[in-house]
Amino acid sequence: MIVVQCHFCSEKEKQKVPNFSDISLKYEKDSVVQKSASEILLALLDIQADDNVIDLGCGTGHITKTIRDRTKGQVVGIDPCEGMIEKAKEKWSNHDIAFRRCSAEQLDYTDEFDKIFCNSAFQWFAEPGKALRACYSSLAKNGKMAIQSPARDDYCPNFLQAIELIKQAQETKNIYAGFNSPWFFRNNADEYKMLFEDAGFSVESSTIDRIVTRHSADEVYRIFESGAAAGYLNQDCYDTSLTREYTDTFRRIVRRSFNDQADKTGLVELTFHRIYLVAIKR
């Protein structure tokens, strides 16, 4: 039984939007910042032609397919979210990729894999230390793991600017006061490095980059919906009950903030702090 909380397809979300395929399709299209970050991560992981690879927190599997194209070895996509993994299976299973619904913390392989790729998922891990020990066990000797995830408390100043408005608005401030962040962030690269070393890894590199891209306000909103909204608008992250009025107003305020953040050309400078870390099992 999967006991890890899924922030991407809670029961509530499934009831609201019965056709989860639509959400998953939207994820693939809208997750443009995750996708561009994944390209840097793929280069860092340096997958070889016969590597056995895990894509950890694979979501809808479109990046798993990119991994499949780089190796003749075994490729496994892991994700605890039913909606995401079902979409991945539906679309990519016949490309010789095995998809398993399980969390990083529940990985049960021993010395089997050469590489673990983990893009934009680490921040969601409920127990990062446990997950890293399971990853360490899953890798063969000299196996390599690479992660990319948003980092630092100010992981995305644009989103936080919008959240400041949520904290102040009469219609949202009381319910937002009961928000508990589901994310795991550390503020410097050494803290991430230590986590991996505690799980037995040697860390090859660990840096937090500041990545700035330019998008229309609408696109920034879609980027927000493809990731952060799965936390900010998730009932399980609140002490009190969310109302339809709250979620509608929340979305309206966030949209307005992104519009206000646009410059004269109509574009928003979207900033993310991202950890890129590569570790080896010696």
Ligand X SMILES: C[S@@+](CC[C@H](N)C(=O)[O-])C[C@H]1O[C@@H](n2cnc3c(N)ncnc32)[C@H](O)[C@@H]1O
Least distance from C-beta 268 to ligand X, angstroms? 20
Tokens representing residue 159 in the block: 């989103």
Kindly state whether residue 158 participates in binding ligand X, applying the rule CB under 6 A: no
Q: Which residue's CB is nearer to ligand X, number 175 or number 254? A: 254
Kindly state whether residue 143 participates in binding ligand X, applying the rule CB under 6 A: no
Kindly state whether residue 145 participates in binding ligand X, applying the rule CB under 6 A: no
| Burial class of 50 by CB neighbour count within 10 A (0 to 12, 13 to 18, 19+) | exposed
Kindly state whether residue 32 participates in binding ligand X, applying the rule CB under 6 A: no
Which of 10, 24, 120, 172 contacts ligand X by CB under 6 A? 120
Which of 23, 59, 138, 221 contacts ligand X by CB under 6 A? 59
Alpha helices, DSSP H, located in 112-241: 128-138, 157-168, 170-176, 189-198, 217-225, 229-232
Which residues lie closer than 8 Å to 14 by C-beta, 6 or more apart? 20, 83
For 231, phi then psi, to 5°, come to -100, -55
Alpha carbons within 13 angstroms on the beta-carbon side of residue 59 total 27
Least distance from C-beta 179 to ligand X, angstroms? 18
83 closest CA partner among 4, 32, 13: 13
Kindly state whether residue 113 participates in binding ligand X, applying the rule CB under 6 A: no
Stretch that binds ligand X, among 123-131, 155-163, 208-216, 231-239 (CB under 6 A): 123-131
Least distance from C-beta 238 to ligand X, angstroms? 18
Kindly state whether residue 105 participates in binding ligand X, applying the rule CB under 6 A: yes
Which of 23, 42, 97, 104 contacts ligand X by CB under 6 A? 104
Which of 119, 158, 234, 257 contacts ligand X by CB under 6 A? 119
Q: How far apart are CA 88 and CA 217, in angstroms?
A: 29
Q: Is 31 helix (H, G, I), strand (E, B) or coil?
A: coil
Which of 10, 34, 158, 206 contacts ligand X by CB under 6 A? 34
Least distance from C-beta 36 to ligand X, angstroms? 10
| Residue 93 DSSP one-character state | G
Q: How far apart are CA 82 and CA 102, in angstroms?
A: 9
Q: Tell me how long the chain is.
A: 282
Q: How far apart are CA 217 and CA 54, in angstroms?
A: 35
Which of 10, 52, 103, 172 contacts ligand X by CB under 6 A? 103
Q: Which residue's CB is nearer to ligand X, number 143 or number 227? A: 227
List residues binding ligand X (CB under 6 A).
4, 6, 8, 31, 34, 38, 56-59, 63, 79-81, 84, 103-105, 119-121, 124-126, 227
